[in-house]
Amino acid sequence: MPTVTFDHETLRAIQSRHGIEHDPWLWEQQLSNIGCVVEECDSREIEIEVFPDRADLLSPETMAHAARAFLHEGGAEPDLATTDGSITMKVDASLERVRPVILGAVVRGVDNGSTPEENDAFIQALMDHQEKLHFSIGRRRRRASIGVHDLSTLAPPFRVVTVPENYAFIPLAMTQRMSIRDILESHPKGVDYAHLLEGFSEFPVILDAADRVLSFPPIINGDHTTVTESTTDFFIDVTGWDARACEACLLLVCLAFSARGGTVETIELTDCHSHTQRTPNGRARRLSLPKRLLEEILGREFTKLEIKNAIDRMGGRFIEMRTVTDGPRTAERMADAAVGEQEYIIEMPRWRADLLHPVDLVEEVATGIGYEDLGQALSGQSKAGIPLASTHLHRRIRESLQANGLQQVTSLTLSNEVDQFAKIRYQASSAVTGIHNPITVDHTILRQSITPSLLNLLAANRHHELPQRVYELGTVVRDHHNATRVGWACAEVGTGFTAAKGMVEALLRDLGAFSRECDVHYEPLTDADGGPYLEGRGAKVMVDGEWVGCCGEIDPEVSELFGLKVPIHCGEFVVDALERLIPDPIL
């Protein structure tokens, strides 16, 4: 969960604009009820862990906005006040295939402090808020990225176009012009986020009327738009692929500026489909909550006053309770209110991107009332989960291997190139998924095979007595996609390929391969196949002519590399292939 630290003096100044006195004790005692964990609170500051879905609590301004209604009964403000401005921004049609969602706003008259120390604190808080939004709902700038600019350095109107990789401008924190390609390859931010534009031959830039680059999203701003201690008027751009995430980011930045006395102006935006709109839209989003759903989950009836007070505390607005006159005749989904049933109409802030379903509104009501005040009634709703089809197969695999005396283990999906390829003599047959910033040389990639994990486990337990018989049904990653495999390894004296083949026969029998008369046979491994098996004592297992796995006796040279000096036989199978080739004999 993201951690934020707020200075009590800053919070006190923000709250005082609304005639509310900041109470540190109340925040420490009650803030956990709205999606936070208070880690520490002293006379100077409060440190809070915020649940990842509550992006509206990541800055002192937006946190104070939510706390006013919840803690201080300061009145809910689900709308963001805006005025219509004269600035326009036009998006070229080419952005549809590069970065299609683009929004913007202007905020004027922001109070950024009266001393150099306050100016610096304001700029640092702005940068921290921006990066926390990038990390949370922006998904590391993939869904949404934010640019904040000093409006006084810009010349509206703005336009968003695509440019080739040789297009050059001076990026933030640089003094020389750099091409798009140079930025992606050598600028610190370009190196960090170049993967977001991988495969593109044209790149998005935002230009003003003087053809100066405001921003190269989602990478870096232009140098001349840098926010300084004298900046009070701002232009904000948000670009990405997720319209809801982009809108929430824009509104939250505007809300933070508004809390410091700024006036939010809309701009006239013409998007890549030539549709014109004014952005940001500060009006609250209207939602419906079926009365039946609320009462089934929370276990009792509620008065309209209780619902109104609860929604007010959560920063929303209760509109009415009405009888549904249009809709499905029967509520086939729990989110539906059928004709004749009653539902609550509620308005919630548009920046609450975490409200995706009526069940989320049930949680808002419960939180607003207080879980301690809901009573002792049990939920009247029972939604039993239905197991996935694959879970039946996984259960049968586990039961078969455990019946053969194997113990189930679970190991890390993280591994390294030496274990996965060099030691067990496999070549990477598909793309390897690496870790960008590994904290240890042992965990640099996501594994492609389970066998190395089992051999490492046996090596870690070599001081225990034999036999040791283990298996794992787990995830591997090939071509950057998850797959399920099952592997086993047995360290015991007096066994070899015969024991490995017997394990395979027992597993395939229990899965129903022989009852369905599947064509099961074994083929010798070739030099091209590679693998950890002793020559002549390993085999490929074929079902209906398709390879499903391998089994055999581990070469002592391979065992030595893992620090093992006992006979080991093992096997590994592709579970997806078993599921496809061997139908469940019971179905």
Q: What is the DSSP string of 468-533?
A: EEEEEEEEEEETTEEEEEEEEEEE-TT--HHHHHHHHHHHHHHHTTTTTT--EEEEE--TTT--SE
**Closest to 195 (Cα-Cα) out of 478, 444, 483, 480:** 480
CA separation for the pair 558, 538 (Å, rounded): 14
Q: Report, in this order, helix, strand and coil percent for the chain, each rounded to 5.
A: 35, 30, 40
Residue ranges of E strands in 217-341: 220-221, 234-240, 263-270, 276-279, 285-290, 317-323
Residues 6+ positions from 124 with CB-CB distance below 8 Å: none
The CATH number of whichever domain residue 309 belongs to comes to 3.30.56.10
Q: How many CB atoms within 10 Å of residue 75?
A: 11
Q: Is the dihedral of CA 558, 562, 567, 572 positive or negative?
A: negative
**Closest to 160 (Cα-Cα) out of 99, 235, 114:** 99
Q: Is residue 300 part of a domain?
A: yes
Q: What is the DSSP string of 150-186?
A: EGGG--S-EEEEEE-TT-EE-BTT-SS-EEHHHHHHH
Q: Are residues 121 and 232 in the same domain?
A: yes
Q: Is the dihedral of CA 368, 369, 372, 375 positive or negative?
A: negative
β-strand pairing of 263-270 with 82-91: parallel
- Residue 541, pLDDT score: 93
pLDDT-flagged residues of the chain (< 50)? none
Q: Are residues 363 and 454 in the same domain?
A: no
Q: Are residues 32 and 179 in the same domain?
A: no
Domain limit, last residue, from 279, 309, 333 = 279
Q: Are 272 and 89 in contact (CB under 8 A)?
A: no
- Residue 401, pLDDT score: 94
Q: Is residue 162 part of a domain?
A: yes
**Closest to 484 (Cα-Cα) out of 357, 547, 563, 576:** 576
Q: Is residue 64 part of a domain?
A: yes
- Residue 277, pLDDT score: 96
Q: Are residues 275 and 289 in the same domain?
A: no
Enclosing domain of residue 553: 389-581
- Residue 330, pLDDT score: 67
Into how many domains does the chain fold?
4
**Closest to 473 (Cα-Cα) out of 450, 455, 507:** 450
Q: Are residues 332 and 268 in the same domain?
A: no
- Residue 68, pLDDT score: 86
Q: Is residue 378 part of a domain?
A: no
- Which neighbouring-strand residues pair with 147? 237
Q: Is residue 363 part of a domain?
A: yes
The strand order across the sheet containing 520-524 reads 407-408, 468-478, 481-491, 568-574, 546-554, 533-543, 520-524
Domain limit, last residue, from 279, 297, 321 = 279
What are the pLDDT digits (tens) for 358-379?
A: 999 999 999 998 888 777 766 6
Q: Are residues 238 and 346 in the same domain?
A: no
Angle subtended at Cα 232 by Cα 230 and Cα 238, rounded to the nearest 5 degrees = 120
β-strand pairing of 144-150 with 285-290: unpaired
Q: Is residue 383 part of a domain?
A: no
Domain limit, last residue, from 279, 303, 319 = 279
CA separation for the pair 502, 235 (Å, rounded): 71
**Closest to 314 (Cα-Cα) out of 14, 55, 68, 7:** 68
Q: Is residue 367 part of a domain?
A: yes
The CATH number of whichever domain residue 443 belongs to comes to 3.30.930.10
How far is residue 331 from each of residues 225, 293, 296, measured CA to CA in Å? 53, 10, 14
CA separation for the pair 541, 526 (Å, rounded): 13
Q: What is the pTM of this model?
A: 0.74
Q: Are residues 124 and 250 in the same domain?
A: yes
In the three-class reduction of DSSP (H, G, I as helix; E, B as strand; rest coil), residue 436 is classed as coil
Q: Are 399 and 408 in contact (CB under 8 A)?
A: no
Q: Are residues 289 and 426 in the same domain?
A: no
Q: Are residues 46 and 25 in the same domain?
A: yes
Q: Are residues 577 and 458 in the same domain?
A: yes
CB burial string 290-309: b at 16+ within 10 A, e below: bbbbbbbbbeeebeeeebbb
Q: Are residues 441 and 298 in the same domain?
A: no
The CATH number of whichever domain residue 124 belongs to comes to 3.50.40.10
Q: Is residue 77 part of a domain?
A: no
- Residue 74, pLDDT score: 65
Q: Are residues 436 and 542 in the same domain?
A: yes
In the three-class reduction of DSSP (H, G, I as helix; E, B as strand; rest coil), residue 335 is classed as coil
Q: Are 312 and 69 in contact (CB under 8 A)?
A: yes
Q: Which residue has the tokens 């996501």?
A: 446
- Residue 551, pLDDT score: 93
